[in-house]
Chains A and B, each alone.
Chain A
């Protein structure tokens, strides 16, 4: 219920449109019921008048019939337009709301789950919320108002009839949907779990197809998939049968109400309490008024899913950001020297420390390389510098000011990054670059790309810098994407530049040229490079070796090669033919960690 209220609160700016949609829906319902009811009364009254020769005013009802006919068509049209318009408005503000609320969480809050999963869930959840207004709010409001009006109208003629109809409407609109929902609870749950099982088997079957084929297990997997598919359909069948039952019973309830109504009304006619045309009118009214509750079963059905979707979105959005931004304005740093003194970091109170007691200095004009095996804390160190994660002890300073005092956006003005997961957006190359400096001139773009050794490639493309990237455009290789991200970071012209594996996937000549250009461009600023290429390491002024979150040793390449055994072993292992030949292939699927 709280989630529902919160959802409604999000929709408040669009109240006007939403009410207009409701009004149009109501008008359509009234017109539809009115058309049949008045028609019924009209022909019965005319027949009675014809038989008895009594005078009758036929202008008013005939005009009403025509008016209802037109109102019904126009109302339906307006209703559909207005409700769609309102839905689009709602979705637009939901999207922006979601985006703005996710922003403070990135990247820490969004990493906990596999990002693909998270994204597809967010997408599906937003789509689900699309239903809320048209398929839930409107039907419920129309039903409540419609039922009240119908019962009030009937009460004018006969209390018993009004009660009977109220009972019929409540049975069809509330009790039946709830009952069906209860009956289908198990099948509903099974449908979800069985679909998940089938999806797993399918993904296993596709991703593991090679292994299954080689080990002769392909037919087994095919049988497994078929069996799970059959199970899934069986759960669906139970739901479909209940669905059919609900549909049949809804119609039956309307008809039974009419049946009971006739039994109540005939004696009224006999006794003269109700005239003949009144009976014709009310009979048609009884049938027509069930339209008010017809969409309720669907609304009930969607409600559960919608609330779950809303709850999930709220849960994501409500996550506490990993870093609390300071209230006070950011201090002005005195220079751009980064100094870490005994810094530690952990990703959660119950998690081991990802960085322990790190002390490090990086001043302008310095070039520092960070090495260490996977999981040794290199990325954590970058996360700390960018204020994506908070440090738990020690001191970290930029230009003599503690990092904690800076707002994230202020701090990141001074640091440019090209990381392994630097995202290239599905727009043009130019727009991707301009992200770093919206006002940069073409000349500046070209310079940055030349430094990053990617200008020649871009210039060769038919559309040059206007080439579209991504799904609808050109797909870049891993190396090209990497260099474009580096160009973007260079364009930022920040006093501190961090590059994460800048040469991975590049041939040796290009890699050397890139690193030389970057070192020259940054000669009077600070450069931090995470790399595993021996040639890059040898050229850096200072090397820091990390293992299990701690600095094992730091110094020049020569010093490290002589005195740091793990470093020497690492460099030797790096001499694998693959990296040397640039054969590391772009990642196709995630590693097998689930």
Chain B
């Protein structure tokens, strides 16, 4: 295989089959039983035809055969239905289990590591990519086994009945693995090269639609339409060139199947006539063999149509394997409780962290936060401010160095218990699908209505909530009513108030809120800071001015610290940041 990604995800798919091996065996057994019934059906039909055509039997004498046939027909229908059910159940188990494991893995990786990935893409992976595996387990794998077993079973019956016809089929039998390889190969070339091309084409169309306004501004839309037409035409040409070859494999399969049937039929015919002078044959046997000849090749043809399920699954699995195999920080086996005390002293001691090797986000950063302080993190983009907060939240673990909470290393503290001591207001708070009440209760699910309303009031969220028709029961989030940036911020603040934690981590919004919202959010933050330790990634001058301590970060290091006036007087990076804008302090 040229592509290691393909082979490794194929191996992974095979490994994932193990827990459902029994169900898959059942599916194959049901298919095999169906095959045996089919052989019986051919035998009954042949006897019936023989009796009528050569022995002038009448309907009255044929009823035993007819009832037998009817029973076989019904039984076969039941078996087909049972096989479908079992196959679906097996695939469903894989899907459910996999989705559970993937989501758990995402949660283990945590928000900081997933920050670069698109949430839409990740949820598609868990939804659609997992779904794409169904065909592989429910249909391809059983069909693969049956494609080998059913022809053999048919041979077992045909060979003793008529060795010559059996031989014709046997001669084509060794070709079966070759067919399979051919079919696979054809599908593979088609898949790997052409689907990539198709993806490019489809991306180009989307790029064009996304950029329609820009194209229009430059009066270039007509040109783009021509490009799309040309690319589509190129794609058709190149794909058809591949298909002409790829379809040859199934052409060969069809050809062998058709010619074998023809050869079997013609030779049986001549032997029945006695024209060949050898191999006399009974009509009953001849008809039996003729009925089974197409069935000999049918499983292979079915496999050919299921082959795309395998390719689809392999393609989909690649992303899943990627997610599952991402390394994550192991949690400590026996964590210590959170150090006692109402407030926390936080110290970073020569903490280094890199998202990718060689691209350090923090380099031997040391800093201190005193209990009850209001601390502002300031610095250019990429300075490491968000990384500091992610480390404090336990979303990331330092590559080297120690974070101490009241002297205890954070890495040894029970993470859930530590998090219960803090509240977090991110830059763009997530509003979950559900009611506003549920969204605020996230801060403390067992809070009562009075506490909830108090938190909303302190966060300055009560006035807009109460103006809504459904108040706290208004549905918001993905499929509900939209909230403005300022409203979402205030909901997040309400969560923080409800949690009432001694340490608050806050990432100020950069997006310009409308003036009213901004004042309200600011008032909420001031309220929240009272009596708590506040660490804030600051984007506003007012926040910085009021901070007890400003930590100025640059390239993952602490370059300055102090209060606003001290730092301004130092004429360093901070003063530069403020002055460059020409704003009076």
B244 interfacial by beta-carbon distance below 8 Å? yes
B424→A229 contact, CB < 8 A: no
**Residues of A contacting B584 in the complex (Cβ-Cβ under 8 angstroms):** 575
B147 to chain A, nearest CB (A): 18
**Residues of A contacting B78 in the complex (Cβ-Cβ under 8 angstroms):** 248
B495 interfacial by beta-carbon distance below 8 Å? yes
A584→B54 contact, CB < 8 A: no
**Residues of A contacting B114 in the complex (Cβ-Cβ under 8 angstroms):** 206, 209
Q: For the complex, what is the distance from the CA of A221 to the CA of B229, rounded to whole Å?
A: 46
B328 interfacial by beta-carbon distance below 8 Å? no
**Residues of B contacting A413 in the complex (Cβ-Cβ under 8 angstroms):** 219
A46→B270 contact, CB < 8 A: yes
Q: For the complex, what is the distance from the CA of A122 to the CA of B203, rounded to whole Å?
A: 12
Q: For the complex, what is the distance from the CA of A229 to the CA of B104, rounded to whole Å?
A: 14
Residues of A110-125 whose CB lies within 8 A of B: 110, 115-116, 119, 122-123
A202→B430 contact, CB < 8 A: no
Q: For the complex, what is the distance from the CA of A35 to the CA of B290, rounded to whole Å?
A: 11
Given A91-B232, A92-B236, A211 and B484 touching (CB < 8 A)?
no
B258→A70 contact, CB < 8 A: yes
A248→B53 contact, CB < 8 A: no
Residues of A253-293 whose CB lies within 8 A of B: 255-256, 259, 262-263, 266-267, 269-270, 276-277, 279-280, 283-284
B283→A263 contact, CB < 8 A: no
Q: Which of B11-19, B378-386, B464-472 contacts A (4 or more CB under 8 A)?
A: B378-386
Given A69-B261, A203-B119, A214-B424, A95 and B247 touching (CB < 8 A)?
no
Q: Which residue of B lies closest to A249 (CB)?
A: B77
Residues of B38-91 whose CB lies within 8 A of A: 45, 48-49, 52-54, 56-59, 62, 66, 69-70, 73-74, 76-78, 80-81, 83-85, 88-89
B337 to chain A, nearest CB (A): 15
**Residues of B contacting A116 in the complex (Cβ-Cβ under 8 angstroms):** 120
B419→A534 contact, CB < 8 A: no
A39→B261 contact, CB < 8 A: yes
Q: Which of A160-168, A360-368, A420-428 contacts B (4 or more CB under 8 A)?
A: A420-428
B53→A47 contact, CB < 8 A: yes
B566 to chain A, nearest CB (A): 15
A49 interfacial by beta-carbon distance below 8 Å? yes
Number of interface residues of B (CB under 8 A): 165
B422→A425 contact, CB < 8 A: no
A77 interfacial by beta-carbon distance below 8 Å? yes
B477 interfacial by beta-carbon distance below 8 Å? yes
Given A35-B261, A203-B119, A248-B78, A217 and B442 touching (CB < 8 A)?
yes
A39→B290 contact, CB < 8 A: yes
A592→B485 contact, CB < 8 A: yes
Q: Which residue of B lies closest to A375 (CB)?
A: B514
Given A84-B240, A374-B512, A422 and B214 touching (CB < 8 A)?
yes
A40 interfacial by beta-carbon distance below 8 Å? yes
B204 interfacial by beta-carbon distance below 8 Å? yes
**Binary interface encoding of chain B residues 182-220 relative to chain A, with 1 for a CB under 8 A from any of its CBs, else 0:** 000000000000000000001111111111111111111
Q: Which residue of A lies closest to B53 (CB)?
A: A276
**Residues of B contacting A85 in the complex (Cβ-Cβ under 8 angstroms):** 236, 240
A214→B581 contact, CB < 8 A: no
Q: For the complex, what is the distance from the CA of A96 to the CA of B210, rounded to whole Å?
A: 15
**Residues of B contacting A96 in the complex (Cβ-Cβ under 8 angstroms):** 225, 228-229, 232
Given A200-B479, A214-B422, A276-B53, A470 and B207 touching (CB < 8 A)?
yes
**Residues of A contacting B259 in the complex (Cβ-Cβ under 8 angstroms):** 69-70, 73
Given A43-B269, A69-B261, A107-B212, A95 and B119 touching (CB < 8 A)?
no
B95 interfacial by beta-carbon distance below 8 Å? yes
A269→B52 contact, CB < 8 A: yes
Which secondary structure dominates where chain B touches chain A?
A: helix
B103→A225 contact, CB < 8 A: yes
A77→B228 contact, CB < 8 A: no
A245→B81 contact, CB < 8 A: yes
B266→A237 contact, CB < 8 A: no
**Residues of A contacting B480 in the complex (Cβ-Cβ under 8 angstroms):** 594
Q: Which of A58-66, A150-158, A305-313 contacts B (4 or more CB under 8 A)?
A: A58-66
A233 to chain B, nearest CB (A): 5
A276→B99 contact, CB < 8 A: no
B58→A76 contact, CB < 8 A: no
B26 interfacial by beta-carbon distance below 8 Å? no
A318 interfacial by beta-carbon distance below 8 Å? no
A48 interfacial by beta-carbon distance below 8 Å? yes
Given A107-B213, A204-B433, A123 and B206 touching (CB < 8 A)?
yes
B419→A216 contact, CB < 8 A: yes
Given A91-B232, A374-B514, A412 and B216 touching (CB < 8 A)?
yes
A535 to chain B, nearest CB (A): 6
Besides the known contacts A123-B202, A583-B381, 17 further A-B residue pairs in the complex with CB atoms under 8 A apart = A44-B283, A47-B286, A76-B254, A81-B240, A81-B247, A84-B243, A95-B228, A96-B228, A203-B120, A205-B107, A210-B424, A216-B419, A244-B80, A247-B84, A262-B48, A535-B582, A538-B582
Given A36-B294, A202-B127, A213-B393, A435 and B99 touching (CB < 8 A)?
no
A240 interfacial by beta-carbon distance below 8 Å? yes
B143 interfacial by beta-carbon distance below 8 Å? no
**Residues of A contacting B228 in the complex (Cβ-Cβ under 8 angstroms):** 95-96, 99
B335 to chain A, nearest CB (A): 15
Q: For the complex, what is the distance from the CA of A76 to the CA of B106, rounded to whole Å?
A: 47
Q: Which residue of A lies closest to B268 (CB)?
A: A43
**Residues of B contacting A207 in the complex (Cβ-Cβ under 8 angstroms):** 119, 430
A226→B99 contact, CB < 8 A: yes
Given A85-B240, A408-B216, A248 and B103 touching (CB < 8 A)?
no
- 13 A–B contact pairs at CB < 8 A? A47-B286, A51-B54, A73-B255, A92-B233, A92-B235, A95-B205, A203-B123, A206-B106, A216-B420, A252-B74, A262-B69, A284-B291, A591-B428
A5 interfacial by beta-carbon distance below 8 Å? no
B111 interfacial by beta-carbon distance below 8 Å? yes
